[in-house]
Amino acid sequence: MRFHATRADVARRAGVSTAVVSYVVNGGPRPVASTTRERVLEAMRDLDYRPNAVARALSLRRSNAVGLIVPDVGNTYFGALARELSDQAFTAGYALVLGDSSNSIDRERAQIESLASHQIDGLIVVSLDPDSAVDVGGIPIVYLDQRRQTQQRSIVIDNEGGARLAVEHLLWHGRRRVAHLGGIPGSPGADRRRAGWEYALRSARVPLEPDMLITTEFSRAAGYAAGGTLLDGENRPDAVFVASDVQALGLLAAARERGVRVPEDLAVISFDGTEDAVYSDPPLTAIEQPIAEIARKALQTTLDPASEIDDARIPVRLVIRASCGCGAMGSPRGGN
C-alpha cells in the first residue's frame, strides 16, 4: 500500500506547526519566513505531499474549476458544448466538472447543490425548468436558456428566429404540409422553436393542422417513434422541421423503413447543426448553433460576474445540405 503523507507528517519533518504548513500551501493568510517556507517545501518534496484539493478549495473559497450541468450528455449537442467549454476553460486555467441531470429536475437540483458544496468558481446550467432556483451560496451561475426569474443571468439562443428561418426555407421549396417534431414543452429551446414554426406558417397563411405537431424527448429513439407516428398518419407531411439533430436521426430511420425518400418525398431541416447533421444519410440541412461563441460567452459571464450580458440573442444560421431538397446547386423544389 502506498504511503500518503499528511499535513502533520510535513509539519513534523520540517519542525513547524500544521498551521505553518497550511500558510505555505495556501499562500497565507499569515506570512512565513523564507527559510521556514523553504524547509516546509523541502519536506513536502521529500514526502511527496500533495495537498487535498477539496480542503484547499474550502480554505481559499476557490477550486479553479467550473461546473456544467446538461440534461443528457448523450445528446450530441450537449456533448459538443461540454467539449468546447472544457477546451476554453482549460486555456483559461480552469477544469470543467460535468454533471448529467438525465432529464430529471430533481437530479438537476441535486447536482447543482453537490457542485456548489465543492466551492467551484462558477456554474453553467442547461436547466429543464425555466422557474428553477437553487441556493448556491453566492457562486456565480449562468443559465443557457430563457429564464422566468429576471434576477437570474442567462444566455439565450435565437431559437424562435432559427425555427422561422428553417420553416420559411421549407415553404420556399413549395412544401405546404410542414410538420414540427418538437421537444417536450418547457425543455431547453422547445417552446421558442415551436413558436417560430407556428409564426412562419401563419405568416405564409398555411393552416396549423393538429396532426402536424408532435412533441417528445430529445433523443434518437423518441425521434424514431414520433417520426413513425407522423409518417403513418392519413395526412402525411411533405416536410418536417425537427427541434434537434438527435430527433432528426430517428425520423430519418423511420422514413427509410417506410420507403419515404428524403428529400424527394419528405424535406427535413433540424436544429443544432452538430456532427450528427453532417454525417447523417442524407446530410441534414440544419439551423446551426455557434457552439464556440456560446461557450465563450457562458464562460466569460460565469468567471466575470460583473460583466454585462448583451440583450441580443446569440444568432444562428441555416446551413444547407441535402435533406431539404436544395441539392448540389441549391435550387428549390417548386417555389412560391
The answer to whether the 7-51 and 65-154 domains have the same CATH topology is no
What confidence score (pLDDT) does residue 21 get?
Answer: 82
Is residue 124 a contact partner of residue 142, using CB atoms and an 8 Å limit?
A: yes
What confidence score (pLDDT) does residue 7 get?
Answer: 82
DSSP code for 179: E
Q: Label the pairing between strands 285-288 and 317-319.
A: antiparallel
pTM metric for this prediction: 0.78
pLDDT digits (tens), the chain, 336 positions: 455 678 888 889 999 988 888 777 766 667 788 899 889 889 888 888 766 544 444 444 456 889 999 999 999 999 999 999 999 999 888 899 999 999 999 999 999 888 888 778 899 999 988 888 887 778 888 999 877 777 788 899 999 999 999 999 999 999 999 999 999 998 999 999 999 999 999 999 999 999 999 999 999 999 999 999 999 999 999 999 999 999 999 999 999 999 999 999 999 999 999 999 999 999 999 999 999 999 999 998 888 866 666 545 899 999 999 999 997 434 444 333
Q: What is the rounded CA–CA span in Å between residue 336 and residue 332?
A: 10
What confidence score (pLDDT) does residue 202 get?
Answer: 97
What confidence score (pLDDT) does residue 305 get?
Answer: 67
Q: What is the rounded CA–CA span in Å between residue 10 and residue 8?
A: 5
Give the residue from 185, 182, 330, 175 showing the smallest Cα distance to 251. 182
Per-domain residue ranges for the chain? 7-51, 65-154, 159-289
Q: Which three cell numbers stand for residue 254?
A: 423511420
What confidence score (pLDDT) does residue 3 get?
Answer: 58
Q: Does domain 7-51 have CATH number 1.10.760.10?
A: no
Instruction: Tell me the CATH number for domain 65-154.
Output: 3.40.50.2300
Who contacts 12 (Cβ-Cβ below 8 Å, separation ≥6)? Answer: none
What confidence score (pLDDT) does residue 81 get?
Answer: 97
Q: How far is CA 291 from the centre of its chain?
A: 9
Architecture (CATH level 2) of domain 159-289:
3-Layer(aba) Sandwich (3.40)
What confidence score (pLDDT) does residue 162 get?
Answer: 98
Is residue 181 a contact partner of residue 222, using CB atoms and an 8 Å limit?
A: no
Local structure of 301: helix, strand or coil? helix
What confidence score (pLDDT) does residue 51 get?
Answer: 64
What confidence score (pLDDT) does residue 25 get?
Answer: 73
What confidence score (pLDDT) does residue 1 get?
Answer: 43
Is residue 269 a contact partner of residue 242, using CB atoms and an 8 Å limit?
A: yes
